[in-house]
Structure 1
Amino acid sequence: MTARSDIPFDPNRSDFAAFDTRTREIFRVTIDFFESRGKRWLKQQDRDRVWYSEFLDLVKREGVFATFLTPAAEADGNPDKRWDTARNAMYSEILGFYGMQYWYVWQVTILGLGPIWQSTNAVARKKAAALLDSGEIFAFGLSEQDHGADVYSTDMVLKPAAEGYLANGGKYYIGNGNKAAMVSVFGRRADKPIIDSADLDRRRPEQDFEGYLFFATDSQHPNYRLRKNVVDGQMYVAAFDLENYPVSAQDILHEGKAAFTAAINTVNIGKFNLGFGAIGACEHAMYEATTHAENRILFGQKVTDFPQIRRMLADGYARLVGMKLYSERAIDYMRSAGPDDRRYLLFNAIEKMNVTREGEKIITLLADTIAARAFESDVYFTMALLGVTGLPRLEGTVHVNMALSLKFMQNYMFGAADAGLAALTVLPVGRAPRSVVHVLSGGLRAAGSAVADSPVAQYIRPLRPLLKELPQVPTRRDAVNDDFLFDQGPSSGLAKIRFGDWQSVLRRASAVPNVAVFLDQALALQTLLAAAGPSVAQQRDVDFLLAVGEMFTLIPYSQLILEQAGIEGIDADLIDQLFEVLVADMSRHATALHCHPSATAAQQQRALDVLARPVSDDGRRDRVVAMVRGLAGRYEMAP
């Protein structure tokens, strides 16, 4: 989150002008903390797995978490305290820039606070605010070793006792579980039935959920038994057991279905930060890699003059700019969300899933650029290699987030103007030649658009809800509390969420050659979904849906990239280079669908329609490579 997405974050040059004075002070004191200690210290702390008490002393002394993670409602009138997604995202980027372990203690504190800030338990909320003021950290006790994401089967059991409950059971992979002043723990009552997680398809009455609850614990309580750190690293990712842990009414955060809602919404809030952590790590790695490659001479020429290195640097830089553009715009949708506009749920899942995986691709490209240097003991890069690899696998796997994204596919891909494409479901076009389908689908789109724009559209019942204009989403860097995040409500009704017109966004940018190619691919995917969409059986085949989802999610990803590129006025060369990469990505995913063993003959044929060759331009690539090479020597962490 720098002033422009085409310039990587530079700790020595960023002025954070979009933020208020207190926020800028915290950003700067955090940067000074790391820069004053230097890279040798950073690496030594990482290598020796030193618990980050020095960083937490800074957090306490400067009131970092208290300022950034206390909602305005609990701020006791302090105007600097608020939950502000924009500045929290920037802080995630800064911490990712210096080391994912520092990002992690912040991230897990956010997760631990989620159920508390959503709770109606005023005592617990007041306690959490006071603990933040004291510099404490928090934890989120949801996962278990035996059950993973299957929270219905939790073995954290609370038995009724004279003054509440006694909790017994274990939790696993709980960040900050060694020191957290409050651990938000998910469990179930022993005197209530457990939900069979193998039978989740049917709608269940509220009473089926009444045995589940969230409650707060203290990691320093004698009945809280810390077992071990399950990872090798500075962060402490705990396995712990509760043994007859006393739970009173004041410790209960949520009961019944509200406990599940709190869990889902907490993850919705927390997973947004993963993409920004990845951005920070990639930016630091980009500086190291370009500086090394630019200054290395092999066979009489600079490494950055080798054709394969030029390609990898151009593609990696373009992907990084894409990550930043998407993420900047996703902030606006997140902060503008409300009960009647929940588009952020799709964009949030993509932030977690696509942006973090883009980070993996970038780190791989950069590692291939600098080869063995990526593994040497005196570079930050080794920390980025491990840290960025972990991000796609936190806060719900890629598969979980892809499944969530697919719930929005129908409403996102088809608007009122696309109603004519419904004819493809009955016309025998599944295996027709590409040219025939292209002409036919174009005519149907034109007819549908004409109907949608006519007065008669208001009298066509299925079109009526699609005709309502959605609010424009402005840039949101205003210093206000994001109230809705802790008042999201139940996660039902996803199929009713409506989206804006993605086609118009792509068309406005289609003067850029590869954006035009990508638009054709997106329209071909839309035709595929109309003419040969997933069958009932395929909709239960997660592996097949992943193949479809990989193509689908590239479209909202590109939409937000182009929206933000327009806001920032990003150079057309960079956008063209980025979409050259995205066109190739879309073609690769289309090939995967074509080759999928579950794909029908019609799906195989229409998947080939999505295949396209990017527009190559040597001059444009040279100009982008020059941009990347300009990063060499721009930033190097203090030794």
Structure 2
Amino acid sequence: MLLLNPKKYQDRNYPDERSKEIMLKTIAFFENKGMKKMKEDTFSFEFTHDFAEFCKKERIFETLFLPKGYGDDDQYYSTYRMYEFSEITGFYGAAYWYMYHVSTLGLDPVFLGDNEELKHRAVQQLRENPLCAFGLSEKEHGADIYSSEMKLYPQDDGTYLARGTKYYIGNGNEASTITVFGKIAGTDDYVFFVVDSHHEKFECVQNVIKAQNFVSEFILHDYPITDADISARGPKAWDDMLNTINICKFNIGSGATGIVTHSFYEAINHAAHRNVYGKFVTEFPHVKRLFMDSFCRLAGMKLFGLRATDYMRAASAEDKRYMLYNPIMKMKVAIQGEEVHEMLWDIIAAKGFEKDNYFSQAVVELKGFPKLEGTRHVNMALIAKLLPNFFFNPKEYPEIPRLNGPENDDYLFQQGTTRGYGKIQFHDYNIAYNSVDLPNINVFKEQIKTFADWLMISGMELKDQMMNDFDFLLGVGEMFTLVAYGQLIIESAAIEKIDNELLNQIFDVFVRDFSKYAVDIHGKPTSTQAQKDQALKIIKSPVIDNDQFARVLEKHVYSLVDAYHMNP
């Protein structure tokens, strides 16, 4: 099965027993807890202490988070394992996923840093308290990370006192390893240092949201810091901050995939057993279309995520293609999840409000995912910088297989300087698109060619257009992103042996999406007349095959009726 089904998870192929063990034990934790208790905790805003205790007892974060050379002798860091665990925790609830996500965010700056003694100290703390936190954002500055007001004040004895406030910091109520980003007072030097929420000079002010997960505001009141607490300073601290986000925002797409998968099971189970006007809901033509489109988008999310994982694991100083696929994973996949959820809600209607199901909480929780670790605009601005090399300056790379083995993802903790981003090159996207001959992929290829011509018509002025009008940049970025998104889905489909009819149906959706984005660009006030004329040529219809639609619906979509129900 392509989609996560916790009741059949033991059938998945893992390279070692430990990896399989933590996934199965995590599923068992939630299934034994059951839907009723999980919902009670959600409504009571009960912090997920039970999950933290479970992770400590089973040493789960220790297994997942630590790179080779730390922890057990056979320890390794695997983006594939992180993907799987992120999807599972998202499947059961954003509060559990968030505890996991911000813990890895908080720990990674330590292992990206220069302080070897601090790394070993963090390992020991992880065993005693698995919760970590990432102290980056501030109330008055938000995503403006250049304007940090958190400061280390040098003292005469060579130590420091930390003063300042951080805001939107997950796990700030309990974490023992909190990596804090700031500056050395009186200088422009950035610094990363570690504090403990249990220290007397640490004040947890509040949870800034009303939810199970704790998103804290905290204050450091002359918190004592020594060199032993500092992981990096200067340009290295800045690079470690950005590289931490590069690693961890990948979790957002996999978490969103887990959320939507659970909602999909609830929606299709309800619709298949709901009889109105003498028919089951699944028999109505518009419902068939909604289920087909939602499943195709969900399948695309999963296929892209699996393939993007390979590029994360294969990364090196010579191969930084993950720097495109990573923000797509964060932004595109999460937004696709929102679209799927809206279609499912159109199907189940009032059922989506009911307090006793997963869907009602997912409606709220999923909305937050595209807004985490940089807004849609910030991530699209990053993506747009890679557009020229992607379309017009390809590079040859060795073919990358599915990488789900026990190898350590060495490069992720050795990313180095963040300069030179716009020089990253990619393999020719035509290789993937020309590897299959399917009606809707062929239409999509025509759209790509017309979009490439649009880029040529736009010329060098396109860069200024995008930089001066973020709304225009979003429109262009959506078309560019869809090309890379479809490319990796085709590559992943070949590895996962997805049948051609389903793949063709997925691109039925993408042909319509490409046309929608072209209409959007045509209507932008920034667009020139030449750009508007060319944008109209991108608009095409998918190739309709009603018999294929019926076969895919029965084989891949409606076959999932009653495939999963969470334990009560």
Q: Is the 8 A contact 1:128 1:182 kept in 2?
A: yes
Equivalent pair of 2:5/2:564 in contact (CA under 8 Å): no
Q: How much has 1:54 moved relative to structure 2?
A: 1.1
Residue 412 of structure 1 and its aligned partner are, at CA, apart by 0.5
1:53: Cα distance to partner?
Answer: 1.2
DSSP-derived class of the 1:620 partner: helix
Q: Distance in 2 between matches of 1:311 and 1:471?
A: 39
After superposition, give the CA deviation of every residue in 1:428-457 in whole Å (9 maximum; x if it has no partner).
xxxxxxxxxxxxxxxxxxxxxxxxxxxxxx
| C-alpha displacement of 1:242 | 0.8
Q: Distance in 2 between matches of 1:236 and 1:535?
A: 43
Partner of 2:152: 158
2:22 & 2:143 partners in 1: Cα distance?
35
Contact 1:61 1:135 in 2 (8 A): no
Moved more, 403-412 or 157-166: 157-166
Matching residue of 1:637: 566
- What residue in structure 1 maps to residue 87 of structure 2? 93
Residue matched to 1:268: 246
1:64 corresponds in structure 2 to 60
Aligned residues with identical type, % of pairs: 41
CA distance 1:629–1:252, change in 2 (3 Å): same
**One-letter amino acid of the structure 1 residue matched with residue 209 of structure 2:** V
Q: Which letter maps to 2:398?
A: P
Q: Does 1:377 align with 2:305?
A: no
> Hey, what does 1:611 align to over in structure 2?
539
Deviates more, 1:177-186 or 1:607-616: 607-616
Tell me the equivalent position of 2:442. 516
Kindly tell me: are residues 622 and 153 of structure 1, through their superposed partners in 2, closer, same or farther at Cα, counting changes over 3 Å? same
- Which residue among 364, 376, 379 is the counterpart of 2:342? 364
**Any idea what the Cα deviations from partners look like across 1:13-32, whole Å, max 9, x if unmatched?**
54232331011111111111
Which residue is equivalent to 1:181? 176
Q: How far apart in 2 are the matches of 1:16 and 1:177?
A: 35
Deviations 1:84-142 (A, max 9, x none): 11111100011111111101100001100111001111121011111112242100000
Task: Read off the aligned partner of 1:165 and give its amino acid letter.
Answer: Y
Gaps of 5+ in 1: 194-210, 416-465
Give the C-alpha shift of residue 469 in structure 1.
2.5
Following the alignment from structure 2 to structure 1, what is the Cα–Cα distance between the partners of residues 356 and 94? 17
Residue 235 of structure 1: SS of its match in structure 2? coil
State how far apart, in whole Å, the 1-side matches of 2:217 and 2:326 are: 29
Question: How far apart in 2 are the matches of 1:88 and 1:582?
Answer: 28
Cα deviation, 1:159-216, whole Å, max 9, x if unaligned, reads 11134211111100000000010110011122214xxxxxxxxxxxxxxxxx211111
Instruction: Please give the per-residue CA displacement for 1:598-638, whole angstroms capped at 9, x wherever unaligned.
Output: 11111111111111111112112212221312111111011
Question: Aligned match of 2:110 in 111, 116, 125?
Answer: 116
Give the conservation status (yes or no) of the 8 Å contact 1:574–1:624.
Answer: yes
Residues 22-421 of structure 1 mapped to structure 2, 5 A cutoff: 22-75=18-71, 77-79=72-74, 81-163=75-157, 164-193=159-188, 211-415=189-393
SS in 1 for 2:69: helix
Report if the CA contact (8 A) 1:59-1:135 is conserved. Answer: no
One-letter amino acid of the counterpart of residue 616, structure 1:
I
8 Å Cα contact 1:108-1:176 kept in structure 2: yes
For the 8 Å contact 2:129–2:175, the answer to whether it is kept is: no
Paired residues of 1:66 and 1:135 also in contact (CA < 8 A): no
The 1-side partners of 2:86 and 2:292 are apart by 25
1:628 to 1:38, Cα distance in 2 relative to 1, 3 A: same
- The within-5 A match list for 1:417-566 is 469-509=396-436, 511-533=437-459, 534-541=461-468, 542-566=470-494
Residue type at the aligned position of 2:559: G
Q: Contact 2:180/2:195 (CA < 8 Å) preserved in 1?
A: yes
TM-score (norm 1): 0.87
Runs of 4+ in 1 over 6 A off after TM superposition: none
Amino acid at match of 2:386: F
Whole-angstrom CA distance in 2 between matches of 1:535 and 1:12: 49
State the structure with more CA Rg: 1
Amino acid at match of 1:103: W
For 1:631, give the aligned amino acid. L
* Cα offset, 1:536, TM superposition: 5.0
CA distance in 1, matches of 2:510, 2:380: 18
Deviation digits for residues 326-353 of structure 1 (CA, Å, limit 9, x no counterpart): 1111111110000000001001110011
> Matches of 2:382 and 2:116 in 1, distance apart?
32
Q: Distance in 2 between matches of 1:290 and 1:536?
A: 45
SS for the counterpart of 2:562 is coil
Shift of 1:531: 1.6
> How far apart in 1 are the matches of 2:190 and 2:328?
29
For 2:396 and 2:83, locate their aligned partners in 1 and report how far apart those are by CA, in whole Å: 29
1:464-497 Cα distance to aligned partner (Å, 9 max, x none): xx5x631211210110111110100111112221
Per the normalisation by structure 2, the TM-score is: 0.97
Deviation per residue, 1:234-268 (Å, 9 max, x gap): 11000011111111111111111111101110000
Aligned to 1:445: none
Q: Which residue of structure 1 lines up, in the alignment, with residue 506 of structure 2?
A: 578
Pair 13,24 (structure 1): closer, same or farther in 2 beyond 3 Å = closer
Q: Which amino acid is the alignment partner of residue 481 of structure 1?
A: N
- Paired amino acid for 2:302: K
Q: CA RMSD in A?
A: 1.3
Render the CA deviation track for 1:209-230: whole Å, top value 9, x for unaligned. xx21111111111111111001
In 1, distance between residues paired with 2:564 and 2:287? 20
CA distance in 2, matches of 1:52, 1:572: 43
SS of the equivalent of 2:192 reads strand
Which deviates more from structure 2 when the two are superposed, residues 624-633 or residues 12-21? 12-21
| Local SS of the residue matching 2:368 | helix
- In 2, distance between residues paired with 1:539 and 1:576? 32
> Offset of 1:325 from its aligned partner?
0.6
The alignment partner of 2:560 has SS state of: coil
Amino acid at match of 2:227: A
Task: Give the whole-Å Cα distance in 1 for the aligned partners of 2:130 and 2:303.
Answer: 33
Give the counterpart letter for 2:310 in structure 1. D
Residue 498 to residue 310, structure 1, CA distance change in 2 (3 Å): same
Query: Is residue 129–residue 176 contact of structure 2 (8 Å, CA) maintained in 1?
Result: no
Q: Which amino acid aligns with 2:360?
A: T
For structure 2, the 5+ residue unaligned runs are none
Q: How many residues align?
A: 564
